[in-house]
Amino acid sequence: MVLAVLVTGIAADQLVKRWALQNLADGQTYEILPFLSLSLAFNPGAAFGIGAEAGAWFAIGILVILLALSGWIVFKLGRGDTLTSILLLTVVAAGGWGNMVDRMTRADNGPLSGTVVDYFATEGFAIFNLADVFAVVGMTLWAITYVRANRDNAPPPSHA
């Protein structure tokens, strides 16, 4: 199931990016909601363009983090951790790997130099993609479940 979530997440991200490249390449913008539209952009960095100047070194750092996260997921599987926790981390990994596919396959200036395809534009805030949604929502939900699980398993406070 974990592999299915990972592969489905990456495939969904890449399919939507392919659609964006085909349908938004002419500069066309489609309003979805008053604060959200579809508009094509290419991001050489991370959120808000952070790390864009670092080039491939930035992508290598992200690659190391993704490999560590993937290893942690495999470790958690072997340890028998809760499936919810593992699947939420897998959603995060799917987002990261979806963007890494862009960095690898869109590289014109050497390995890992590719830009990430973004298309969800918010008025005056950010432009992002489905992989980013997976990473942010997956991590947020994982953090909530982690805090709740630890709160429920924590020993009662001592009253001295």
Query: Does residue 98 contact residue 13 with C-beta atoms inside 8 Å?
Result: yes
Q: Which of 13, 26, 81, 118 is catalytic?
A: 118
Total count of domains within the chain: 1
Question: Which residues in 1-154 belong to E strands, given as ranges?
Answer: 30-33, 36-43, 116-122, 127-128
Q: Residue 97: what pLDDT?
A: 97
Domain of residue 25, residue span: 2-32+40-150
Is 118 assigned a catalytic role? yes
Distances (CA, A) of 125 to 75, 122, 138: 37, 5, 21
pTM of the model: 0.86
Q: Residue 70: what pLDDT?
A: 97
Is 152 assigned a catalytic role? no
Q: Would you say residue 159 lies in a domain?
A: no
Q: Residue 99: what pLDDT?
A: 94
Q: Would you say residue 104 lies in a domain?
A: yes
Q: Residue 58: what pLDDT?
A: 79
Q: Which of 13, 81, 108, 132 is catalytic?
A: 132
Q: Residue 51: what pLDDT?
A: 61
Question: Which residue stretches of the chain have pLDDT < 70?
Answer: 45-55, 152-160
Q: Would you say residue 158 lies in a domain?
A: no
Q: Would you say residue 160 lies in a domain?
A: no
* 32-35 long-range Cβ contacts below 8 angstroms, 24+ apart: 34/123, 35/122, 35/123
